[in-house]
Chain A
Amino acid sequence: MHIEKQAVRIGFNPLTDCAALLMASVLGCDERHGIRIVPSREASWAGMRDKLVTGELDAAHALLGMVYGTQLGIGAQRHDMAVLMHLNRNGQAITLSRHLMAQGAVDGASLAGLLQSERRQYVFAQTFPTGTHAMWLYYWLAAHGIDPLRDVRAITIPPSQMVYNLAEGHMDGFCAGEPWGQRAVMDGIGVTVATSQQIWPDHPEKVLATSRAFADAHPNTCRALIAAVLEASRWIDASDENRRATAEILAGGAVVATDRAALLPRMLGRYDDGMGRQWQDAHPLAFHQDGQANYPYLSDGIWFMTQLRRWGLLKAHPDYEATARAVTRVQLYREAAELAGVTAPAGTARSSTLIDGRLWDGSDPERYALAFPIRQR
């Protein structure tokens, strides 16, 4: 197999869920498949997207919603993108300030009650306008009768600034990836009122993205890359020992640069909400799940487009199915999965029930997007 490009420059954001990309390089999975991963720590999602578009980065750890935002031209000029594989499921969280907790907001229902009784402007932060955290935050608020566009103010803040801004009282809560939820609890600044897996058990989160042009010109490089990251994902998920070793590497200054104590518990599925409840989560951050977590289901991508439409980021319905098919490299993934000895599911859609009891099976996105009582009109 001729590898078109051997050194692959991959952007990552310093978060727990960039683990598989980094471990593919640390464990040497990349070399086994004839490539070399050159990780590049990036400061922002928008910067990462620009660098994918300009070709300064070959591939990146990306928010699934952001890939579709780029494909459909939300914010920046539209650009054809490709999703090679999914990197993880679950493991994000919604954190409220301790001040709000002291006023009785300990979950979605009590937050809705507080908004009714004490009227002022509430501010909630997410990490990117078309990103996954914005969608989890909006979905969760709306599921409790809170309109994220009218009843509160939603802002964008970099993940690493969340805890600081919450401590300073600049905002009431945030939705971000780990370790920032755990960090807020550890530092006694916030409490975890919902995990993203409570909103959608086994939801898709970060993906490995490239521009369409890169995927078209470098199919063998992409296959090798997917196979290498699949092997690393399988290794991380194989044991708690491996997760500990991964946390050790992530905690280092070149990656997330935070205490291992903030990273490790939730990587092992051990949660502490900061309000006295501790539990072993049934749907913790997953990197592999025998390949289930990595398979790029079309219905997962379509779901994000329904939410972009729901919140008015898309002014009209896109061609959901055709867009998802153009972006998602299912065939490339299948071939790479075979190289790595990973089984790929047969279908391209899966069905899940979300926190508001609604069933999502990918079958009628237009109707699904319009069926929510709370949405932009």
Chain B
Amino acid sequence: MSRHLRIVLVHPPRESDASLRAAALQAGLAEAGYQLVASLPADIHLPERIAQLQPDMIIADAESDARDVLEHIVVATRDERRPIVMFTEDDKTSSMEAALEAGVSAYIVAGLQPERIKPVLNVALARFRKEQKLLHELADTKHKLAERKVIDRAKGVLMARHGISEDQAYQRLRTMAMNKNLKLAEVAQRLLDVEDLLG
């Protein structure tokens, strides 16, 4: 899996200590068997290039001012998130752990041995996927809860209207849903809409 990751490395627009760090990391990635699809300067064309390349992962220098340009990309593509890995000189493990909590997928310490890079990136990717899965599940649960509410309200309407039990109300909704080939929640919503309309 990791061999096919499309990785983009972002380096500062002009020469500096930070770009030396980027070069070292690039060498480390190559040695670890990763294929970089691009090493891009953090200039005003970066957002467009990222949009074209659609990488699986972006790696950037945490201490570079290009961080804010990357933040722009994150905000602009909030609906199609991708893991971002930061590398830094700071080897305080506590801050790395906290960074993970904070949503950045990983902080790699520059000068990391090539054989260590691969597991770190794999963990970052796994972590990102897990987080995305949890977010989806959360959205799904919220949606189901909302549906539940609609169905309960529709049952209430039927019970009051026809003086029937909750179970009978539910059966009616379900029969209607099957006959019309609709989801239960959709039938319930239609019933509530009509109720609203007619008062």
The answer for the CA separation of A369 and B103 in the assembled complex, in Å, is 29
User: Could you say which of A76, A127, A171 contacts B44, with CB atoms under 8 Å apart?
Assistant: A171
Which of chain B's residues 76-102 have a Cβ closer than 8 Å to chain A? 76, 78, 90, 92, 94-95, 98-99, 101-102
The answer to whether A76 and B102 have CB atoms under 8 Å apart is yes
CB distance from B88 to the nearest CB of A (A): 9
Q: Give Cα distance in the complex from A79 to B69, angstroms.
A: 21
Q: A134-167: which residues lie under 8 A (CB-CB) from chain B? A: 155-158, 160-161, 165
User: How far apart sit A170 and B64, CA to CA, in the bound complex (Å)?
Assistant: 21
Assess whether A240 is interfacial by the CB under 8 Å rule.
no
A75 is an interface residue with CB less than 8 A from chain B: yes
Q: Give bound CA distance, A160 to B68, whole Å.
A: 12
In Å, the complex CA distance between A123 and B47 comes to 13
CB-based contact A161/B13 at 8 Å: yes
Fill in one digit per residue for A165-208: 1 if any B CB lies within 8 Å of its CB, else 0.
10000110000000000000000000000000000000000000
- A-B interface pairs (CB < 8 A), number: 88
Give Cα A268 to B27, complex, Å.
50
Contacting pair A56 B95 (CB below 8 A): yes
Is A371 at the interface (CB under 8 A from chain B)?
no
Contact of A54 among B68, B69, B99 (CB under 8 A): B99
Known: A50-B99, A75-B75, A313-B75. A123 touches B44 (CB 8 A): yes
B62 within 8 A of A: yes
B63 neighbours in A (Cβ, 8 Å): 43, 47
Shortest beta-carbon distance, A157 to chain B, in Å? 6
Contact residues of B with A, CB < 8 Å? 13, 43-44, 47, 62-72, 74-76, 78, 90, 92, 94-95, 98-99, 101-104
| New A-B contacts (10) at CB < 8 Å, excluding given A76-B74, A128-B72 | A45-B67, A47-B67, A54-B94, A56-B92, A74-B75, A130-B75, A155-B47, A157-B68, A170-B44, A171-B44
